Structure 1
Amino acid sequence: MPFDGEADARGTTSGRVERNRHLSEKRHVSDSTWQTHGMDPRIARTRQSLQQALLALAREESLDAISVADIAARAGVHRSSFYQHYADKETLLADAIDATVDEAAERSLATGLASGAVAPDEQQILRTLEVFLEHASANASLFRRVLGPHGSALATARMRDRIDGIVREGIEHARESGAVPANDVPVDLEVAAVSGAAIAAVGQWLHMRPRPAPTQAAAWIWTLLSTSLIPVHP
């Protein structure tokens, strides 16, 4: 999703440079993640504690078996505090997924900025995918549920929105760098197709036994996505 004031600039290299600088500044804000930037630090800490509590509990038992009271107890807050921050467990789950994807993108961005990159390149996008898959693997049962037929519609939509943003960066970079031939396919349509394939691939990987390492899965998925970005001409 674009940040405020960036919608017009998102499709240009200069726009992405400004966006990276903007995100770099956010990394140095106390208690910051993209999701909690500008929020009261105490509220941010409580929400992060609730998110981490849900993820920890989901590694131990099914999501259906986890109650709001369980989450509050694990986070070290009163049950009433939960409802001061979240309407229900599904909204908390969606925020936890948001934070996972945002952290993956932020960590890869930090690597890119440290190397002097001003626009996302293949290695930075691949690193984003690797970090995201590391989180997904550590919380495999939860992500299988989210991506499954009976998963949370809100959490799935939020994750799809975040992945759309990462895919869009890759597509725009590939088009502007000349890495793929010019085509007249609308970017939004291409983003939907590619991110849909990425989510399906992640879901399949999470069900593999034994499950390949996140780095291997990221390389496979990136190969598939890179191939799908090259238009096929008759």
Structure 2
Amino acid sequence: MPGLHHPKPPRRPSSDEPRMTRTRDALEAGLWELLRDHELADISVAALCRQAGVHRTTFYGHHRNIFDFAGSVYAGVVDRLGTIELDQRGTGRTIAEIGDLYVESIRQILQHIKAEQRVYRALFHTETFLAILADQLNARILLALHVWQAHKVPPALDLEATAAFLAGAYASWFEQWVASDDDDVEARLASLRYLLPCWWPRDGFPEA
């Protein structure tokens, strides 16, 4: 598949790792390999298990179908791209520096999603991927809210409720990006300036 892009390819597991981790890594590596030449909808569980050297019984012990597994893999990539190297207080960073880090993480997610647009389009057509993605984003946004709170940025908020709301909004915003033919990442980032809560720092966002 042209444009295949996975920022952190699965590493080769060591022999002393738990069997579940080794199996997961083998399945992920098999998925990336099969996606080089096949659409997601054309990959069967049997083909993936042959590629990974994993028994189908093991696969079905954790996943319902190929879309369920691929959804967890791709949501994991988004989660890794959204990971910012900060503690819960953003120690040692200014608000502007933290803002730059968050914007760059969103930029990388947008680039990744567009590079694998056909896979994401298939995933967003399932009944579960939007919720899976929102759940992954929720943890990252909650950490961001704690960081901003430590810098006295937001008003008094229920952080968990706010994170859940923003995670759902972000997931839908990414879904719309996948559905569109637009590939202007900077313009997409600039639009976010006007969608975030008014108190959210705008440092790092490009101008519209």
User: Match of 1:47, as an amino acid?
Assistant: L
Matched, 1:81 2:55: yes
Cα distance 1:90–1:207, how it changes in 2: closer, same or farther (>3 A)? closer
- Residue pair 1:105, 1:128 contacting (<8 A) in 2 also: yes
Q: CA deviation at 1:31?
A: 5.2
- Residue pair 1:171, 1:229 contacting (<8 A) in 2 also: no
- String of CA shifts for 1:90-140, please: whole Å, max 9, x gaps: 33113212321232134x43xx69xx9667921222222122222211211
Task: Give the equivalent residue in structure 1 for 2:149.
Answer: 175
Task: Give the equivalent residue in structure 2 for 1:14.
Answer: none
Match of 1:210 among 182, 198, 207: 182
Cα distance 1:167–1:67, how it changes in 2: closer, same or farther (>3 A)? same
* Greater RCO (CA < 8 Å, at least 6 residues apart): 2
Task: Give the equivalent residue in structure 1 for 2:113.
Answer: 136
Task: Give the equivalent residue in structure 2 for 1:151.
Answer: 126
User: Match of 2:72, as an amino acid?
Assistant: D
Task: Give the equivalent residue in structure 1 for 2:80.
Answer: 103
- Residue pair 1:51, 1:95 contacting (<8 A) in 2 also: no
- Residue pair 1:164, 1:195 contacting (<8 A) in 2 also: yes
Task: Give the equivalent residue in structure 1 for 2:7.
Answer: none
SS of alignment partner, residue 82 of structure 2: helix
Match of 1:52 among 18, 32, 38: 32
CA distance in 1, matches of 2:32, 2:43: 13
CA distance in 1, matches of 2:23, 2:127: 24
TM-score calculated relative to the size of structure 1: 0.61
Q: Which 5+ residue runs of structure 1 have no aligned equivalent?
A: 1-29, 33-37
- Residue pair 2:81, 2:105 contacting (<8 A) in 1 also: yes
CA distance in 1, matches of 2:164, 2:78: 17
SS of alignment partner, residue 159 of structure 1: helix
Match of 1:201 among 173, 180, 199: 173
User: Pairwise CA RMSD of aligned residues?
Assistant: 3.5
Task: Give the equivalent residue in structure 1 for 2:5.
Answer: none
- Residue pair 1:164, 1:191 contacting (<8 A) in 2 also: yes
The alignment covers a number of residue pairs equal to: 180
CA distance in 2, matches of 1:163, 1:222: 18
Q: Which 5+ residue runs of structure 2 have no aligned equivalent?
A: 1-10, 202-208
- String of CA shifts for 1:129-184, please: whole Å, max 9, x gaps: 1222222112112222333xx4241x33321111111211222222221223x23x
Task: Give the equivalent residue in structure 2 for 1:20.
Answer: none
Percentage identity across paired residues of the two chains: 16
CA distance in 2, matches of 1:54, 1:158: 23
- Residue pair 1:144, 1:206 contacting (<8 A) in 2 also: yes
